[in-house]
Structures are given as C-alpha cells and as structure tokens.
Amino acid sequence: MIEPIKNILICLDHTQTDHDLMTFGRFIINSANTVEKVTVINILKSLNVPSEVLKEFPDLKKNAIKERINDLSTILEEHIGDKEVQKEVMVKIGSALKIILKVIEEKSIDLVLVGKKNPQEADGILTQRMGRRCPVTLLIVPSGSTVKIEDNETKHKVLVPVDFSEYSFLAIERAVEVAKNYDNTEIFAQHVYHVPVGYHYAGKSKKEFAEIMKLNAQKRFRKFIAKCDCQNIKINEEYTLDDNENIVEDIHNYAKKINATGIVFGSKGMTATSSFFLGSTAEKLIKIDTEFPLMVVRRAGEYKGIMHLIQKL
C-alpha cells in the first residue's frame, strides 16, 4: 500500500510560476484527501547587498525577509486559505538544493512541488538536480501547465509509463490516489516495447516478432494490474513499439497524443540507477519536458540519509 501524502513542501520563487505551483498544491490537497500540512518556501541566493551597506542599515536583511514572508503568506491564503490544513511560510538564504533537502528531513515532507520554466535556466538546472536527489515524491510543474486542471469540463488523462517493476506499480498506485476523487479522470498505462536484436534467428519477420513481444507485454500487464486496487478508475492500456531507440520520445509523443494532464512514473532509490526503464530515461524526460507536469514517485525510507546526501553535494 502506498504511503499517504501528509506533508507538502512547495518551492516558490516569487514569479508567475508560483501561481502554477499553488494551483497544483490545491489540486493535490483535493485529490489526496490526506494532506495535513503545507509548507511554502522561498530560497534567496543572497540579498546582493554589500556588507558595508548592511552595516549601515542592520535591519535591511530582516525587513527584506519579513516582506517576502508577507508576500508568500498572501499567495498561500489566496490559493488554499479555505483548506483545513496547517500552513507554514519559510524564507531562507543560501544553496537551494541543500536547504530543500534539509527541510525535507526536518519537516518529514512526503511530496515536494517545484516549478520549471526553461531547462537551460537556473530553475531548470535545479529541477534536474532535484529529480536526481530528492528523497521523496517530487512533482515538477512547468510554467503554464495549470490550464488543464483548472478546466473542470475537461477529462483528465494521467499517463503512467510502466515496465512491470515495483517502481511502476508504485506510480500506478499514486496515480489512482490522485484520480479517485475526480469523476472525470482516466489513467493511461503505457508500456514501450522493442524487438530484440537477433529476432530473425527465431524464423520470424520483425513485424511478427513485434506482435509476439506485444502479446507477452499484454499478459504481463494483466498480472501486474491485478495486484492493484484501482478503485473503479478506468485504466487504459497502450503498447508502443520503440522503433527509434528513444523511449523518452515515445512517452512524450503519446502524452501529446492523448493530451495528458500529467505524467506519473516511478523512480528507483539512490543506490540504484536514478531512472526507470533504460539508464537515464527518467532524467532525460525531466530535462526535455516543458509541457507536462511530471510526478516522480518514490518510496519513503528507501533512500540514503539526507544529511549524507548533502555532504556529497
């Protein structure tokens, strides 16, 4: 059974992306129905004020932080002020990744929300590093991606790439938890398969062997999904032949085809490859995607100690 989401950390940067993150924060509160506390945090690299000026105006730093806390408190109240959850606002100065990882440990965070604008900009680089190092479930929200969840008339389609591993099973379970409180939500389970090298030694054409691989995947899927309590959520099956040895493109193209509201996938622990399917597939998806919210599902307690991670940065 997947662990409930109780404590959420939302990483704001005092830009328009904050609206997207808070909108998704509200969406998670409504869908998970288990959230007890929401913490919003804004991390400043520095105040960019010379030390001489700070000496002359000793309250400048304190007042600047106080003003930012007031701004974030306003955003928090605007979006989830009517929700019966605990709320906390934090403003820190320093290395964003180190601070976030430390807060995750100190606050027993279950889910982290981060924004994404451009992969080449600072926030994109931070998002990629969070994708590799965040020890709990991570929701990456591209700028402008809230349009679909704000439209109550649109049927939500959650894409879950599956490879029949325990990690993709966790992703299915989390997708069900998110979808169960929304009547207009479907889950699309996509398995990307390929024709192995040397298929012709079996006396089959490539097309024939592709069909064999698909039939095998369908059998595995039936066993895989039978273990899940889908709670009456419709699970659509999709089998995609990987003809170009680019699983990321296969997933992204299918997400576009069904106009997915978001993509949910499982990720292995820090002691294993930081991705799913093949090598760096998940990391590549995080890097290139600027359209779909991505939820990286991780099992609580499976990772190395946070402070040990921070020391390695």
Residue 1 lies in a domain: no
Q: What 8-state DSSP symbol labels residue 202?
A: G
Residue 98 lies in a domain: yes
Q: Do 182 and 213 contact (CB within 8 A), yes or no?
A: no
| Side chain identity at residue 222, one-letter code | R
What integer best gives the mean pLDDT of the chain?
A: 84
Indicate if the alpha-carbon torsion angle 115, 162, 273, 105 is positive or negative: positive
pLDDT at residue 121, rounded to an integer: 53
Please state, in angstroms and as integers, the Cα–Cα distance from residue 37 to each residue in 26, 84, 169, following that order: 12, 9, 26
Q: Do 42 and 73 contact (CB within 8 A), yes or no?
A: no
| Side chain identity at residue 131, one-letter code | G
User: Distance between CA 18 and CA 41 in Å, rounded?
Assistant: 11
The strand order across the sheet containing 262-266 reads 86-93, 37-44, 7-12, 111-116, 137-142, 294-297, 262-266, 156-161, 185-193, 235-241
User: Distance between CA 264 and CA 211 in Å, rounded?
Assistant: 27
Residue 287 lies in a domain: yes
What DSSP string runs through 15-71?
STHHHHHHHHHHHHHHHHS---EEEEEEEES-----HHHHHHSTTHHHHHHHHHHHH
pLDDT digits (tens, 9 = 90+) for 232-253: 888 999 999 998 888 999 999 9
| Count of CA atoms in the C-beta half-sphere (13 A) of 113 | 28
Average pLDDT over residues 257-270: 83
Domain count, the chain: 1
Residue 306 lies in a domain: yes
Segments forming the whole domain that contains residue 186:
7-312
Whole-prediction pTM: 0.87
pLDDT band at 312 (very low <50, low <70, confident <90, very high): low
pLDDT digits (tens, 9 = 90+) for 142-174: 887 776 776 667 788 999 999 998 889 999 999
Residue 161 lies in a domain: yes
pLDDT digits (tens, 9 = 90+) for 164-211: 988 899 999 999 988 887 778 899 999 999 998 888 888 888 899 999
**Backbone φ, ψ for residue 211 (5° rounding):** -65, -40
Residue 90 lies in a domain: yes
**What CATH number is attached to the domain comprising 86?**
3.40.50.12370
| Structure-token pair, residue 37 | 């506390």
Report whether pLDDT(280) > 80.
Answer: no
pLDDT digits (tens, 9 = 90+) for 35-69: 999 999 999 877 667 777 777 777 777 888 899 99
pLDDT at residue 302, rounded to an integer: 60
Residue 164 lies in a domain: yes
* CA 126-128-134 angle, 5° bins: 85
243: helix, strand or coil: coil
CB-count burial class (<10 Å; 0-12, 13-18, 19+) for 109? buried
Residue 196 lies in a domain: yes
Token pair 């930012």 is found at 68
